[in-house]
Amino acid sequence: MTKLSAGLMAATLALFASTGLSAQSAPPPPPLSPSANATAALTRFLDEEFVEYVKTQPQLATRLGIKDGGDKWNDISDAAADAQVRWRLASVARMKERFNRAALSPAGQVNYDIWTLEADRAVLSNMNRRYRPPFYSRLYSAHSQLPDFLINTHSVADATDLKNYIARLRGMPAVLDLALARTKASEKAGIRAPKFQIETIISSSEKLTSGAPYGEGPDAALWADVKAKTAALVASGKLTQAEADQHLAEAKDAIIALKPAYCRIIAWAKASLPKAPSGKVGALTLPGGRAYYANELKLVTTTDLTAEQIHAIGLKEVARIEAEQDALARQAGFADRHAFYAERKRLYPPQPFTDETRAEYLKNANEFVQKTRTLLPGYFGQLPVYGIEVVREPAFSEVPGGAAHASQPSPDGKRPARTYVHLVGMRPDPAAMYTLMCHEAVPGHNTQGDIQVRQQGGPKFRSVTGYVAFGEGWALYAEAVCKEMGAYPDIAADFFRLDAELFRAARLVVDTGLHAKGWTEDQAVTYMNTTGRQPIERSRSEVRRYLTLPGQATGYKIGMIKIMELRARAEAKLGQKFDLKGFHDLLIASGSQPLSILERRVDEWIAARAG
């Protein structure tokens, strides 16, 4: 790796200093033990390595609030991916040469192991790279992810940020062209995006390049965003109107210049449409697909569970949850879960969202999140401190039945944590909102993300390293914690907590069915609709997500099962010594981690308190 630029080095070290890594202190701290000295040295080494890593990831730098490199996009070329793997392996080799793992503290050993594991995962992930062409994923397709990043992550606090925003606009065509080239290379290898994904790429690309400044109609998403961010700078006195007009003229030219790149994407998509597969399009239909799917399950779950094992776990969990729903329905005076569902459908028949009901949903969701936040001190030692808000999904990526998702706050809290919800199509039962907010916001993803970005003392790479099984497992576990905290207002809300858990159990069955058992899309949609209890448009949306992101949906339930298992173990072994706040802090106060390492840490925590 080349030497880090002075600007980025200074900015990164300043960030570290602001979050507790400053070498200055008064009075001097007491002498450290040998293991603490070794661990502190390891932390310094890992922070230096992380500085080098951030240099190669300018979008990550933006997420961290570092301005240097803020005018660039990540390099998505195969050559860059290969170089990143080589660098990670070399970094681990340097670490092992300099540090004796046995001499480190338990926390130091965790960081040592995770840094090593990340290199191994990079190798495994790179093996699957051709299966992830940039336009393949339902959630992460490049044509929508680049504008989404500018709108939702690239904050504009001053003129430099605005200039960087415009520079990134100018750089988008080159990234989109490279994404297209990689996608075409995957096609030549027999890996084609499903027909439904190609159709989505066409429609959303047309939407992104419609309206002003391309022609008549409402402002296109990027044009509306840059105008709003520029106006805010003028209102705050950071730009004169003349300066703003000049920047807007440049931004307008850059946005108009995006049109040809999107036209190339649309032309490719229309040409690919006749050959795009449909029906049975799981991993088994791809060359080498079985091994590809096995690798994805390993990466997502951080376990060695096979597709057959995960499928069986899903079926078992579906049966258990349905039995609990029956019991809860009888408690409410109904014969079984079917009668309860029927009554809820009578009370709240499917109706499309309107502007009024969208506003009502956002109001109720934000109020519930803030109320639930007040309950946390009784169950958590580490608490979120930054803002958390529920907002509507941007129009260019909003789809009927689309899955809600969360984003972390910036490390300084200037960008709040957000939960994005899709508010088009049919309205869900209002009782389902509570579980969704527990999962995405409090005490789920937004809470965990707030705590993670503010980590102090440990190596900074841990604040941005995430594992699906841990993060999604925590969020699903958080739904159960909401019940424990008394957050759910009535039996209907608790019933729909089980409904949400049933949905995640059904995901285990459907994901493995699609990719390891040869299920068709319609077969999976039917199962998700009838057994997973999801509306047909949500079932279709979910299945299409699983088809283009194999394995990802299995992390939720596998992670939750492990966390529940570890809590039960701790409660059984510690009895009256069990500390729920301490257990929760152990899980989320030190960052995301593989399930194997989490289990080791919980066992060590139990042993330390049992003695």
Q: What angle do CA 65, 69, 73 make, to 5 degrees?
A: 100
321 CB-near residues (< 8 Å, 6+ apart): 498, 501, 502, 505
Is 466 in contact with 50 (CB distance < 8 Å)?
Answer: no
Q: Which DSSP helix (H) or strand (E) runs through 405?
A: strand 405-407
Burial 559-580 (b: 16+ CB within 10 A, else e): bbbbbeebbeebeeebeeeeeb
pLDDT value at residue 461: 94
| Residue that is written with structure tokens 């914690």 in the block | 481
pTM: 0.87
212: left (phi over 0), alpha (psi -120 to 50) or beta: beta
Q: For 407-459, how does the pLDDT look when each residue is reduced to its tens digit (9 = 90+)?
A: 999 989 999 999 999 999 999 999 999 999 999 999 999 999 999 888 888 89
Burial 421-430 (b: 16+ CB within 10 A, else e): bbbbbebbbb
Give 394's DSSP letter: P
How many Å is the maximal CA-CA distance in the chain?
A: 73
CA pair distance 140, 399, nearest whole angstrom: 14
Q: For 348-389, how does the pLDDT look when each residue is reduced to its tens digit (9 = 90+)?
A: 998 999 999 999 999 999 999 999 999 999 999 999 999 999
Query: What is the length of the chain?
Result: 611
Residue 342: other Cβ atoms inside 10 A: 12
pLDDT value at residue 29: 56
The SS3 of residue 611 is coil
- Torsions phi, psi for 352 (to 5 deg): -70, 150
216: left (phi over 0), alpha (psi -120 to 50) or beta: beta
CA pair distance 6, 196, nearest whole angstrom: 47
| Residue that is written with structure tokens 């979008």 in the block | 59
360 CB-near residues (< 8 Å, 6+ apart): none
Tokens of residue 151, six digits: 């709108």
pLDDT value at residue 6: 36
pLDDT value at residue 28: 59
pLDDT value at residue 10: 40
- Torsions phi, psi for 460 (to 5 deg): -70, -20
CA pair distance 172, 143, nearest whole angstrom: 9
The SS3 of residue 417 is strand
CA pair distance 276, 193, nearest whole angstrom: 6
CB-neighbour burial class of residue 482 (10 A; exposed 0-12, middle 13-18, buried 19+): buried
Strand order across the 388-392 sheet = 388-392, 417-421, 405-407
Which stretches in the chain have pLDDT values below 50? 1-26
CA-CA-CA-CA torsion sign (133, 134, 139, 143): negative
